[in-house]
Amino acid sequence: MKYFLKPSSRLVEIALKNEEIRRRFLRFASEFHPRKVKFEKTIHGVKLDIVDATEFISKYRSPDEEDWKEEMGETHFFFTKEEYQEVAQRTGFIIKNSKKLPKSEKWWVKIREDIEFRSESDYRWIQLVLTKKQD
């Protein structure tokens, strides 16, 4: 199975390169239902928690209104690597293999046209190979 990884909480700045993206971010911040998005406006964009920045980046290119509304009710980055492993073990699985997978450079090409964002981690996903414990 492949899952999104939640980054460790910390303050980051993202540069929003045009007015359309700034408006999209403000809409995201006001409509994201899972939690309140706290941010501070900066000269080039916004400063916010990396968890919220990651959610925005994963959603801002929604192709239509229906998809946007659906995305505003979802969170993709809710567990760290350690939390995924803990949940797997608690629910009766044995972890055969666990590895972090790098971000897709192809995916970032389009995003960099709109948003400048430096992340310390190149890993966005975790892959777990699990087997069920035998009773």
| 73-115 residue pLDDT tens | 988 777 777 887 888 888 888 878 777 666 666 767 888 889 8
| 1-5, 69-73, 88-92: range with lowest mean pLDDT | 1-5
Structural domains in the chain (count)? 1
32 pLDDT higher than 80: yes
CA distance 65 to 52: 20
Q: Which domain holds residue 103?
A: 2-132
Question: Taking a C-beta distance cutoff of 8 angstroms, is the pair 17, 25 a contact?
Answer: no
CA 23 to chain centre: 19
Nearest to 118 by CA among 13, 25, 7, 16: 13
